[in-house]
Amino acid sequence: MGQSKVQSHSVWNLARRQHGVVARRQLLELGFNGDAIQHRIETRRLHPLWRGTYAVGRPEVTRYGRWMAAVLACGEQAAVSHETGGALFEVCAEPPGEIHVSVLDGRRKRHPGIVTHRRSGLDHSFITEHRGIPVTDIVTVLVDLAGRLSAHDLEAAINAADRNDLINPERLRAEIDRRGPRRGTARLAGLLDRRTFTLTDSELERRFRPIAKAAGLPPPQTQVRINGYRVDFFWPELGLVVETDGLRYHRTAAQQTIDRLRDQAHIAAGLVPLRFTHAQIRYQPRHVQQTLAAVAARLRRNRHLD
């Protein structure tokens, strides 16, 4: 095989690994000179994207190809990040019309459609690859998003990271403590703290009793066994069972199965199971009160009709 064919074969292999794009510096490393690169541009075997980056074979590239080309255009110390990193990890929507790239050192290069972030506080340990594209790791992505997304969208991103087995909220909370403060960590930690803590039985009861009283309910039985399960709160006169979950985000499949079996056993026995999280009892007492009052009123009406 001639030298030219060997080089062409190497370019195609590289392009396949990089979603159809290559950088000029990579072509030079493969033995091409400036004239050879220009010839391939003129003969439409290379299609310029950003300065020093090319689509190979045809001008159209996938969004992964655009992201990879943006990283290549920003230099060897670059990785997609922020909303683009979130879109690559499939935890948030792709930002319209712009690609976010972080560079670890050097001067930020300006390219149309690429938003570059100089990250002097990060090093290579914060960069990974996903689908073959360099990207800041999921913790860094979520911290960056915490300073940019609404609370609802940030919570959705955390849920998606958990669902995609990228990181669970408990590990995320521990990791942001280990890494120390950065823009976004306080907001992210605050959101996680409202969702991942667990009240002790005594603290749970102390906080729940006045909520139930304000909803017009009599004192409940606590920690009694009903239908083979220990329940948190029970009103036998209403047939109402209230169960509480310590973790909103991360409940394993086994835990979810047990929860369903418990609820099904209570329903089969003619009871009404109602679930709240510990976080709702701690931070959303009015919602808990209103829900309890509405359910209790319906149960009283049904019993009166019977």
From start to end of 96-153, where are the E strands?
99-103, 114-118, 127-130, 133-136
CA dist., res. 205 & res. 214, Å (int) = 14
Q: Kindly indicate the confidence band of residue 202, based on its pLDDT and cuts at 50, 70 and 90.
A: confident
Using CA atoms, how far residue 246 sits from 76, 79, 193, 275, 281, in Å, is 45, 37, 12, 11, 10
Six-digit token string for 213: 């009283």
Q: Would you call 206 exposed, middle or buried from its count of C-beta atoms within 10 A (0-12, 13-18, 19+)?
A: exposed
Q: Kindly indicate the confidence band of residue 197, based on its pLDDT and cuts at 50, 70 and 90.
A: low
pLDDT tens digit string along 17-72?
Answer: 999 999 999 999 988 899 999 999 999 999 999 999 999 988 899 999 999 999 99
At 156 the three-state DSSP class reads helix
* pLDDT, mean over the chain: 88
CA dist., res. 221 & res. 146, Å (int) = 41
CA dist., res. 188 & res. 166, Å (int) = 16
User: CA torsion 198→202→204→208, rounded to 10°?
Assistant: 180
CA dist., res. 122 & res. 189, Å (int) = 19
**CATH architecture of the domain with residue range 201-305:** 3-Layer(aba) Sandwich (3.40)
Cβ proximity of 60 and 54 under 8 Å: no
Burial 263-276 (b: 16+ CB within 10 A, else e): bebbeeeebbbbeb
DSSP state of 111: B
Q: Kindly indicate the confidence band of residue 1, based on its pLDDT and cuts at 50, 70 and 90.
A: very low
CA dist., res. 139 & res. 176, Å (int) = 7
CA dist., res. 206 & res. 232, Å (int) = 12
- Per-residue model confidence (pLDDT) at position 252: 58
pLDDT tens digit string along 132-178?
Answer: 999 999 999 999 999 899 988 998 899 899 888 899 888 898 899 88
Q: What does pTM read for this prediction?
A: 0.68
Share of the chain above pLDDT 70, in %: 91
Beta-carbon contacts of residue 86 (< 8 Å; ≥ 6 apart):
92, 93, 141, 142, 145, 157
At 292, give phi and psi (nearest 5°): -60, -45
Q: Can you give the residue ranges of every domain in the chain?
A: 1-61, 75-196, 201-305
CA dist., res. 260 & res. 246, Å (int) = 16
**Nearest by Cα to 127 from 156, 95, 102, 157:** 102
DSSP-derived secondary structure for 158-216: HHHHHHTTS--HHHHHHHHHHH---TTHHHHHHHHHHHH----HHHHHHHHHHHHHHTT
Instruction: Give the lowest-confidence range in 50-54, 202-206, 233-237, 284-288.
Output: 202-206
CA 292 centroid distance within chain: 32
Instruction: Look at 184 and 100; give whichever has higher pLDDT.
Output: 100
- What's the rounded mean pLDDT across residues 184-204? 79
Six-digit token string for 283: 């931070």
